[in-house]
Amino acid sequence: MTMASRRSAEQMEKSADELEVRSLLATIATHFKGALVNDPYYQQYRTCERKGTASSTCLELKSKAFYSALSTALQVPIARGEWPFKELAHRIGENVFHGIVDRICVESADDAERVAALKILSEIPNGPWAALSSEAYAGLAQRTEAEIELLLIAHRHVPLPEMAASEVSSLALNTSISDGIRSAAVAALAHPKYADRLTALVAELLSSASISLPIVQNSLPFALGRCGPSCSSAVQRLATSTRPEYRMLAVEALTSMAPADARSERARLELLFSNEAATEEELAKRRDHFDRVSSQ
């Protein structure tokens, strides 16, 4: 077989794989859409659109419908193994499967199709934790929260595409979006390359401008910890706050860092101890962490 004919055969095989994946995902999306049509929230959403009600209200109803249909129409059949997508992904390769879902998310104007594809991708065991193309993240604020959550879920492990970071930062500050999605947006910025964006979010938090403690109390320490020494200035700003709950965020961020990074932040820990306004409970937690880090 010549080199050209070998390439042609490989291309035909890739095309067949893609057709098979798209056919299966289309079947799953059709099942998902059938559940959506009958969902009470989706019916309210359609009425909302016909009446020309505020778009944020309609989008909230649509998001509830998508979450409901995901749990009823997709989660149960997935748990039962009714669709052989895991076997298909294993056979053609998880990276190939990921690439096909990526193309669907970029090309499809059908949000139900995108959500179904992302849900299936998230169910691939040991699948590729990778970012999608930056185009897949465009206009996040106008998407259902189900789709946003599925897009962001991998980014507790891998960095966002740089072109998507601005969209995600805006989500964290968007007061029309639920606290859960805003928290997920903060967690998705957990990488040293986004230290400036995390520092800006800390500044917003300290000024009580457009983000509050309940939104970030779990995600911000995680993000700062993953960011590591690159986010020292943000941790320092929290540590020197007059409010104990913000100083505690700094302690949690240091606890979330890798041991080597935490050791490099020893001077920060010493500064935390010097804060006379700390409560006994906070000081005890700081001492415990300091002892653990110092002994490593």
Please answer whether residues 172 and 185 qualify as being in contact, where contact means their C-beta atoms are separated by less than 8 angstroms. Answer: yes
pLDDT digits (tens, 9 = 90+) for 253-263: 888 888 888 77
Structure tokens given for 124: 């691939």
pLDDT confidence tier of residue 41, bands split at 50, 70 and 90? very high
As a dihedral over the C-alpha atoms of residue 38, residue 40, residue 183, residue 212, rounded to 10 degrees, the angle is: 170
Mean pLDDT of all residues in the chain?
A: 84
pLDDT digits (tens, 9 = 90+) for 127-177: 656 788 889 998 888 899 999 999 998 887 888 988 899 999 999 988 888
What pLDDT is attached to residue 10? 45
Residue 49 and residue 137: Cα distance in Å, rounded?
A: 24
pLDDT confidence tier of residue 52, bands split at 50, 70 and 90? confident
Residue 261 and residue 230: Cα distance in Å, rounded?
A: 10
Domain spans in the chain, listed from the N-terminal domain onward:
1-158, 160-296
pLDDT of 278 > 60? The answer is: no
What pLDDT is attached to residue 157? 80
pLDDT of 219 > 90? The answer is: yes
Pick from 90, 75, 77: nearest CA to 127: 90
C-alpha distance from residue 209 to each of 120, 167, 196 (Å): 38, 19, 17
Residue pointed to by tokens 């991998």:
154
Mean pLDDT on 186-199: 95
pLDDT digits (tens, 9 = 90+) for 9-22: 445 455 888 999 99
pLDDT digits (tens, 9 = 90+) for 93-141: 888 899 999 999 999 999 999 999 999 988 887 665 678 888 999 888 8
As a dihedral over the C-alpha atoms of residue 112, residue 147, residue 161, residue 87, rounded to 10 degrees, the angle is: -70
- Separation of first and last alpha carbons in the chain: 59
Q: Nearest 5 degrees, angle CA 180-CA 59-CA 32? A: 85
Q: How many C-beta atoms lie closer than 10 Å to residue 233's C-beta?
A: 12
Residue pointed to by tokens 């897949």:
136
Structure tokens given for 54: 């505020």
Please answer whether residues 244 and 278 qualify as being in contact, where contact means their C-beta atoms are separated by less than 8 angstroms. Answer: yes
Measured over the CA atoms of residue 268, residue 274, residue 279 and residue 284, the dihedral's sign is positive
Mean pLDDT on 77-99: 90
Residue 56 and residue 110: Cα distance in Å, rounded?
A: 19
pLDDT confidence tier of residue 43, bands split at 50, 70 and 90? very high
Q: Which of 59-68, 125-134, 196-205, 209-218 has the lowest mean pLDDT?
A: 125-134
Structure tokens given for 215: 């939104």
What pLDDT is attached to residue 294? 47
Mean pLDDT on 188-205: 94
What pLDDT is attached to residue 194? 95
SS3 state of residue 177: coil
> Which residue blocks in the chain are alpha helix, DSSP H?
3-37, 40-51, 55-69, 75-80, 85-92, 94-107, 111-122, 145-152, 162-172, 179-188, 195-207, 213-216, 219-227, 232-239, 244-256, 259-264, 266-273, 280-294
